[in-house]
């Protein structure tokens, strides 16, 4: 079973920076993409950033120009560099991995438990 563990969250002042990391463990046949989602209190979960195995990226409009997603394919790890943080970025950030459990199987989505990011003065 694939397990994802996030780290790097915390409390930061507006305008500050944080770097989130996601480490995947367990066997998976192939990884299609990894991404970061967030859920603020009382809000729906939303995509923050996504990166495919070939390096194509996608970002929520609200974070474009401030956040950068990257990954290490060899380690099945993903990172989210967050700059110029705003109070509205406050949320629990979850790592997501989509991949195949075995040859010919469909895509399965795995989730981490999340790491809290709080932006406040």
Low-confidence ranges of the chain (pLDDT < 70): none
Q: According to the model, what pLDDT value does residue 22 have?
A: 98
- The DSSP result for the chain, as a single string, is --EEEEE--EEE-TT--EEEEEEEES--SEEEEEEEEEE-TTS--EEEEEEETT--EEE-GGGTTTEEEEEETTTTEEEEEE-S--GGG-EEEEEEEEEESSTT--EEEEE---EEEEE--
Q: What was the pLDDT predicted at 104? A: 87
pLDDT of amino acid 63: 98
């Amino acid at each position: 079973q694939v397990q994802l563990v996030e780290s790097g969250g915390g409390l930061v002042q507006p305008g500050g920076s944080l770097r989130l990391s996601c480490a995947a463990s367990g066997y998976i046949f192939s990884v299609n993409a990894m991404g970061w989602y967030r859920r603020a209190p009382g809000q729906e979960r939303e995509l923050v950033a996504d990166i495919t195995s070939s390096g194509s990226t996608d970002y929520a409009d609200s974070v474009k120009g401030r956040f950068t997603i990257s990954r290490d394919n060899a380690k099945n790890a993903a990172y989210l560099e967050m700059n110029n943080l705003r109070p509205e970025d406050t949320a629990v950030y979850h790592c997501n991995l989509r991949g195949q459990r075995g040859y010919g199987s469909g895509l399965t989505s795995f989730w981490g438990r999340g790491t809290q990011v709080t932006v406040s003065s």
